Structures are given as structure tokens and as C-alpha cells.
Amino acid sequence: MSESPHPRADELDELTAFEFVALMHAEDVAAVSAIGPQIDQVARAVEAIAERLRAGGRLHYFGAGTSGLIARLDAAECPATFGVAPDLVQAYAVDEAAAEDDRDLGRDTARDAGIGPRDAVVGISASGGTAYVLGALDRSASEGALQVAITCHPGSPLGAAVDIAIEVDTGPEVIAGSTRLKAGTVQKLVLNMLSTAVLTRLAHTHRGRMVGVVAANDKLRARAALVVAMLGGVSADEAAAALEAAAGSPKTAIVMLRRGVGADDARELLDGAAGDLKIVLAAGRAQGASAE
């Protein structure tokens, strides 16, 4: 458990800098490996969350302290990375220590979020006992939302209260109770898996490329142009021109290039396929084959 002293706690103060960081590295590697036995639960959560979002639901994260910060980070990256609406993935977190103990605050936050039966809720808590998170899941359960837990304490109250529990036993931290270390790393990795796999299954990526990337600065415009060039089969200059004509949308630009249509027609094709680039391109190949 994260609150238990590390087996080498009594000698930590005497270690060299190299020995100390080598120990931390070994512990990090072990913590990452501890995710392995929970991969089936992660996959179950991916499928269940994707089903809710496909039906028009949203994904909500609840956490406190370090867990809340990690949740905010994952949610904040989704719009720019995948081109999804800002409210599709949302994080609710408290930073003040006293607020972590406020179960009613968690309930109120979940109520104000307007969570409904099509939504998915992920509670993130290293201990699995954070009152704020438990309160939020109390409320979301009453609304019929899918409930998922990410904890580092198997058998915790949070894990027992949800539909799908992802419980990664990371063991004692090098500094007892400092869950920003192994527990924080593992929670970040699991959230990476959840959001990335879910949004990939919902066609917000294509062949491992960020076709939904929002080209909001020079770096992202260059990334978007590279994606269009690779998937559109054109030069960098042609990709940049298509991207400009597509108002910065890589998906639209790729359809324009691969299907030989204008921006409006490309958008219409994407809308008809619920934004799934694979479907639009496959239909184009099928049309080409039948024409032969």
C-alpha cells in the first residue's frame, strides 16, 4: 500500500544519488508492469465507455489532489489531440486537502455536471477511499451512468462501488504516502489508455495519425500538413494547400484529396459516415473498383 514504508526506507538517507534514482527507476518499472494483470479491465472499460459516447454521452473524470491534476491533464489534451468538442471529456477536481473529505461536495459537483444515463464516469483515487470521489459516484450511479474506478488499492470502497474497477497494486512508494510517484504514474498511464483507445475506436484517429488535430499554432499546422501528406498521398505543398481549403481540418483535406471532391462535398461525406474517415475512404475505393 502507498502509506506503508518502503522495504528500504531505513537506508534511503544513506544512498548515493545514483543509488536513490536507480531505486526509484526500478520501482517505476515494477509499477508499470503491475498494470498488466488489469489490462482486461481496462479493455472492458474502453468498450463500455465507447458505447456510451457513441450514443451521444460524455466522459467525466473525478479526482482530488494529484489524481485530480492527472485527470485534468488528460481531459485538457483531448480536444486538441482528437478534435473532439471541449465538453466531451471533462475533469472535476479539488485541490484543497479538506475538500477531499467532502462527500457532499462530490455529490453536488456530479449533480451540477448534468450527468445522465448515456454518460460514463471515471473515479480516480490512489487509495480508493477519497470521499469527494465516492460522493460523485454516488450521484452518478443514481443517474444510471456507467461507473469506472482507477485505484492503486485492490479491494477499496471505490472499486467495490463501480461497474468496472481497474485496481493496480503499485505497492509502497519510495516516500511513504507520496502518491504523486508510482501511483500517479500508473493513473496517468491508465487514463492515457482509456481516452486514446476510446477516441480511436470512435474514429478520431486513422491509422495511428491525429486526423482530428486542431491546427492552432505553427507546430500543429505542420503536424496536420504532415498527416494530410501521408494519408492523402501528396507532397507537403499540396497538403498545405488542401488543408487551407479545408479550413484546417485534416480529415476534410484527406477526403478532398483521396476522393477528388471539394471541401463542402468532403464534409458531407464525413457527416454521412459519422466522421469515420475509414468508411469514407473505403467507399471511394469500392466506387473505383466498380467503375473498372
204, three cell numbers: 478520431
Q: Phi then psi for 284, rounded to 5 degrees? A: -65, -40
The Cα-based distances of 2 to 126, 205, 230 in angstroms read: 8, 36, 46
Report the distance separating Cα 41 and Cα 165, nearest Å.
7
Torsion sign (Cα): 222, 84, 68, 121: negative
Residues 6+ apart with CB under 8 A from 53: 59, 88, 120, 198, 202
Q: Phi then psi for 93, rounded to 5 degrees? A: -150, 155
Report the distance separating Cα 155 and Cα 127, nearest Å.
10
Q: In terms of Cα–Cα distance, which of 25, 136, 27, 117 is closest to 71?
A: 136
192, three cell numbers: 492515457
- Burial (CB count within 10 angstroms: exposed 0-12, middle 13-18, buried 19+), residue 287: exposed
Active site residues: 77, 100
87, three cell numbers: 465538453
